[in-house]
Structure 1
Amino acid sequence: MSINNQEFVILVAGGSGTRMQSQLPKQFISVGGRPILMHTIQRFYDYNPEIKIILVLPSDQILFWQKLCVDNNFTITHQVVAGGASRFASVKNGLAVISGDGVVAVHDGVRPFAPVAVIQEAFAVAAQKGNAVVAVPLKESIRILKNNTSEALDRTEYRLVQTPQCFQLALLRQAYQLPEESSFTDDASVVERLGKKINLVAGAYENLKITTPEDLIWAESFLKMGK
């Protein structure tokens, strides 16, 4: 694989167990017999066994993760990097350890069910157009709150943004030289600040970000279906 065709993924896993109502950080909670984060890593390995995986964790969780890998006999090669005080800082730390050129995905560590076909499409479009952001249409009606009232919106004009979000490395490096802003809710918003057009690609509803106890019930059922 040439240096220009290298593929990377930065997995951001800095969550706590607050909304999950758990003392254990949600990325380490077991689903289907192993931690959520291992399922996530497995998906990217299944897509491309040669992909370079960078896992960004809070520094005080790294030793615990290493022990989990030993206990679960988890051997997929990945590099662990200490995160920063914000998601922006954590992604920047992950970028700092990548050398060379190619395409990089940034993905939530607690989205363990991204279909391989979705990952493949995001990488392909980013390689061609510079970036690709996974998103799905809204299923339900949506309203906007205005001055203590609400107003219906046309849901067909909106999308729910997911990850992976893929970028040519030169572009993402340039974007992460910007000063951090509160409006940077994901990597697409950082790149957009450069004035770049964001390309959306079709995501999947099963690509759920596991956040609450109800999500764990869904995840277990999903695994039982052999997905």
Structure 2
Amino acid sequence: MDYIIIVAGGKGLRMGSDIPKQFLPIGGKPVLMRTLERFREYSADLQIILVLPEAQQAYWQELCGKYDFKVKYQLANGGQTRFHSVQNGLALVPDDAEGVVGVHDGVRPFPSIEVIKNCYETARTAKAVIPVIPVVETVRHLEGDSSVTVPRGDYRLVQTPQTFDIQLLKAANRQPYNDGFTDDASVVESYGHAITLVEGNRENIKITTPYDLKIAEVLI
């Protein structure tokens, strides 16, 4: 059995909105609903776990009624950090479960079905997989008051879903939290397991600013 943990804990601060960014509409429907629908489109059998802060759950339920949202999922409470939110989501995955579990940003509604499939299928053997895209801008590394150009071909931008063997991610998430855990791959890497990269899709943007919202409307 495969799972996806969709983490949605944003407060919308960079969006300049009182409404958390995952609830803002694109193409007439909240971002988060489009994200859940994309994973249901990938697989009717995928077990979806949505992680939301308790303070946002009542509003989410209102939206589900308003938009007649029918995608089935389990709900977990958000934690103090992303790491703790994923822990809460993982707690709904049985301890003896076998298969692949993905973790995805709730404000990334445009992962391609091909990318999702590749992440899950590659993780069946590689155990820890993340989608990435090339850096197309020139990159400079800051060194004190100066800076130096670095080879952009040596770098990749990381996306989600990040997919893992269930038992591996559960074990890695039993580690004590530290500030170096910027995503789930960093947690698994800290546990000692190598990360495999697969090609992402450039449309798979993370919607965090008003500009991103405009791009999302174009993509819709």
The reply to whether TM is greater than 0.5 is yes
> Is the 2:129–2:197 Cα contact (8 Å) retained in structure 1?
yes
1:176: how far off? 0.2
Pairs within 5 Å for 1:184-199: 184-199=181-196
Paired position in structure 2 for 1:76: 71
Amino acid in structure 1 at the alignment position of 2:47 = K
Q: Once superposed, which parts of structure 1, at least 4 consecutive aligned residues long, lie more than 3 Å away?
A: none
CA distance in 1, matches of 2:182, 2:148: 24
1:129: how far off? 1.2
CA distance in 1, matches of 2:144, 2:17: 36
Find the partner of 2:62 among 50, 67, 77: 67
Paired position in structure 2 for 1:159: 156
Mark the runs of 5 or more structure 1 residues left unpaired by the alignment.
1-5
CA distance in 2, matches of 1:177, 1:142: 35
CA distance in 2, matches of 1:170, 1:60: 30
Choose 180-189 or 98-107, whichever is displaced more. Answer: 98-107
Paired position in structure 2 for 1:3: none
Q: CA RMSD in A?
A: 0.6
CA distance in 1, matches of 2:218, 2:144: 41
Write the deviation string for residues 25-51 of structure 1: whole angstroms up to 9, x where unpaired.
000001011100000001100100110
Q: Secondary structure at the match of 1:150?
A: strand
CA distance in 2, matches of 1:71, 1:156: 46
Is 2:179 the counterpart of 1:182? yes
Q: Percent identity?
A: 47
CA distance in 2, matches of 1:82, 1:157: 38
Length, aligned pairs only: 218
1:80: how far off? 1.1
1:187: how far off? 0.2
Find the partner of 1:220 among 208, 217, 220: 217
> Is the 2:128–2:193 Cα contact (8 Å) retained in structure 1?
no
CA distance in 2, matches of 1:136, 1:161: 7
Pairs within 5 Å for 1:90-169: 90-99=85-94, 100-169=97-166
Write the deviation string for residues 166-186 of structure 1: whole angstroms up to 9, x where unpaired.
000000001000000100000
1:107: how far off? 0.2
1:147: how far off? 1.3
Amino acid in structure 1 at the alignment position of 2:153 = T
TM-score (norm 1): 0.95
TM-score (norm 2): 0.98
1:128: how far off? 1.4
Find the partner of 2:19 among 16, 24, 27: 24
1:73: how far off? 0.5
